Structure 1
Amino acid sequence: MNWHAPQLRSSPRKRGPRAAERGPWIPASAGMNGIARRAFMSLIAGAATTAWPLTARAQQGGMPTIGLLWPADAPPVFPRMESFRQGLRASTFVEGQNVAIELRYAQRGPQQLPELAAELVRSKVDVIFAGGDLAAGVAQQATSTIPIVTITDDIIGAGLIASLSRPGGNVTGVTILAPELSAKRLEILRDIIPGLSRVTALHDPTSGTSQATMAESAARSLNLKLQVLDVKHREDVAPALRAARDSQAQALNVFFSPLLSSLHREIIALAAEYRVPAIYQWREHAEAGGLVSYGPNLAAMWRQSAIITAKVLKGAKPADVPVEQPTKFELVVNERTAKGLGLVIPPAVLLRADEVVE
């Protein structure tokens, strides 16, 4: 099974000491439901939608402003903001010196996003950086003129752009192809857990249906029974893990979403308590105690998103800035967690791993 490829098409390739083979690229899937309009149109109806040009702001003596829209109930955790600032610095923008960042996150839940997006529009920020399909869709509904840069799981499936090479509207950024990766992680679980037959997936319904749809298709081909449980709020994590345990799930597949990523510590702790092996999107989650992770490099995704944001601040139009995709995926295995679960990681998996936490 080919698990490994280079990281970003615009970035130099780096291989770890346990790097796996390079695998074929899988195109992004379509079919994710669009963002519902009626739920929040009344909240943004009064918001100004005129962009504030960088040149006009500079002429008035102010520095350009990035409005960061984050759908979780707490600010982005390491390494997100640190990596974003690194990408800006690499593009000559230093926060507090020649660029400002206005962070808005959904303390009251995703339903607060339209209100926060409207705030950023009224503030006349120069560009909006949105984390995830939901936040990007809400921002796009709030303004058709302020540029939007985003990291999404399935940017075409979410209906945010016309094509990867020429987005065509006011949205561009990085898409991480979460549906394909969510399916691929089932194969990794099968290779790690002997006799695997029942898997539970944690799913954020605000991220659309494409991850669940592709994972269900992969489960059928692998002869696995897949149970998909929705997690909409922090309070849903414990009941979902209890349901996985009660259904005798042999493994847990945590789908990608900013919300689920922000809850990774709770998920890792409960998975350990209920002795359910779990696979995650980001290496940071395996390093924090999760059994295994498989996905692109989180820090690299945020750095590259910042570089794209800087291009827009310097005058590039999102319609003409191609959406980038990761081409390298990292496999990280936590052997300490495996021993605690009574699992022996097969040597073939360890050989493919970029990092083994011992």
Structure 2
Amino acid sequence: MLVPTLIVIAAAALIIWLAGPSVKQPAKIYRIGVIKAASSLEPALKGFKSELAKLGYKEGVNLEYVAAEATQDTAVTEQRFKELIESSVDLIVVVGVRETRSIKAATEKFAHSLPIVFGVVSDPVGSGVVKSTQNSGNNLTGVTPANEVLVAKRAQLFLNLVPSAKRLVIAWNSTSTSGIENLRDKIKELGVELFEKQVNNAQELDNFLATFKPRVGDVYLRATDTVSADKVQAIIDWGLKNKIPVSGTNIGDAERGSLMSYGADYESIGFQMARLADRIFKGAKPSELPIEPPGKVELVINSQTAEKLGVTIPQAMRGGVDKFIK
């Protein structure tokens, strides 16, 4: 019996020796392409990165960000995005409808299955980004601020804050993202006149602000589209110069000097985007992840701007304000 036992032991030892020491596989390093955002949308990317870190993705350890930036030249933008795609990124994160459309087109051409997580895209269906909010039908998923829906509530809160308003002024670019049709439907109920102007680009918006002659009782509602997002500070400065109250769409506008803002918290949208990215890294397909509405909507009033404009904040509104900027 001793000999067979020794043979078994020797065979086992030989197998272990041949197998050698176990080699620990290196941790997966995720590469995320990041499309540079307009300054007004940067809080969403900040939120994305901070939440992703909380989920265990540490830059320099198991995560690498690869930046790319769109330009006004379509061909240059396509080439930059092509290079980004070919750099073997695992996922692309983008905010804003203009940039989202551009990177969507690039992946359709060069890598149709590369996952994209977007944020701050109002009416993603009407904007042509996805086929439906329940199933994108493509390689995208993301979070919408739903501004096309919130615009009427924003206008109502604005008029509550400035009850002396007689005319609501808005220069808009995109029918879908600005929610202008929703606003038109509600204007009689709001009890004021609507003065609207469609602008095709930033230059046309500049020209409108330079030539428009405001009158007593005017208030300005900042449109939620790319053109107005690019010109936020110019709109706010125009309002302060002409003593016209301006309502923004998010806390960043109020921090820049608008009288108030009402809308999605962009940093919170970034948190939601990170959680979607985490699910994709764990095996989910973008088309399986419904487009999410904003998780946090807030009303912000800039007390300093109210004082400059001679606006008294109604006592009835104070309890519903999420934050005062002083």
- Per the TM superposition, whether the score is higher than 0.5 is yes
Residue of structure 2 aligned with 1:337, choices 290, 305, 317: 305
Q: In the alignment, what sits opposite 2:250?
A: 282
CA contact (8 A) 2:127 2:177 kept: no
CA contact (8 A) 2:41 2:266 kept: no
1:89 aligns with 2:57: no
1:21-170 matches, within 5 Å, as: 63-70=29-36, 72=38, 78-108=42-72, 113-143=77-107, 144-151=112-119, 152-170=121-139
CA drift of 1:261 comes to 3.3
CA contact (8 A) 1:129 1:148 kept: yes
**SS at 1:352's partner residue?**
coil
CA drift of 1:109 comes to 6.7
**SS at 1:129's partner residue?**
strand
Residue of structure 1 aligned with 2:210, choices 227, 234, 242: 242
Taking the aligned partners of 1:104 and 1:204, their CA distance within structure 2 comes to: 25
Residue of structure 2 aligned with 1:192, choices 139, 149, 161: 161
Q: In the alignment, what sits opposite 1:33?
A: none
CA drift of 1:349 comes to 1.6
Taking the aligned partners of 1:214 and 1:147, their CA distance within structure 2 comes to: 32
Taking the aligned partners of 1:61 and 1:327, their CA distance within structure 2 comes to: 32
Q: In the alignment, what sits opposite 1:7?
A: none
Taking the aligned partners of 1:110 and 1:233, their CA distance within structure 2 comes to: 15
Q: In the alignment, what sits opposite 1:219?
A: 187
Return the TM-score normalized by structure 2: 0.79
After superposition, the C-alpha distances for 1:22-54 in whole angstroms (9 at most, x for unaligned) are xxxxxxxxxxxxxxxxxxxxxxxxxxxxxxxxx
1:304 aligns with 2:272: yes
Q: In the alignment, what sits opposite 2:140?
A: 171
Q: CA RMSD, aligned part only?
A: 2.9
**SS at 2:278's partner residue?**
helix
Cα 1:103–1:327 shift into 2, 3 Å: same
Q: In the alignment, what sits opposite 2:19?
A: none
CA drift of 1:146 comes to 0.8
Cα 1:244–1:355 shift into 2, 3 Å: farther
CA drift of 1:251 comes to 0.9
Taking the aligned partners of 2:168 and 2:74, their CA distance within structure 1 comes to: 27
Cα 1:320–1:101 shift into 2, 3 Å: same
After superposition, the C-alpha distances for 1:295-332 in whole angstroms (9 at most, x for unaligned) are 12111111211221222233221011122112542111
Rg (Cα) greater in structure: 2
Cα 1:187–1:321 shift into 2, 3 Å: same
Q: How many residues align?
A: 297
For structure 1, which segment, 119-128 or 141-150, has the greater mean C-alpha deviation from structure 2 after superposition?
119-128
1:312-351 matches, within 5 Å, as: 312-351=280-319
Taking the aligned partners of 1:200 and 1:111, their CA distance within structure 2 comes to: 36
Q: Which amino acid aligns with 1:101?
A: Y
CA drift of 1:67 comes to 1.6
Runs of at least 5 residues in structure 2 that lack an aligned partner in the other structure: 1-24
Runs of at least 5 residues in structure 1 that lack an aligned partner in the other structure: 1-58
Taking the aligned partners of 1:79 and 1:209, their CA distance within structure 2 comes to: 19
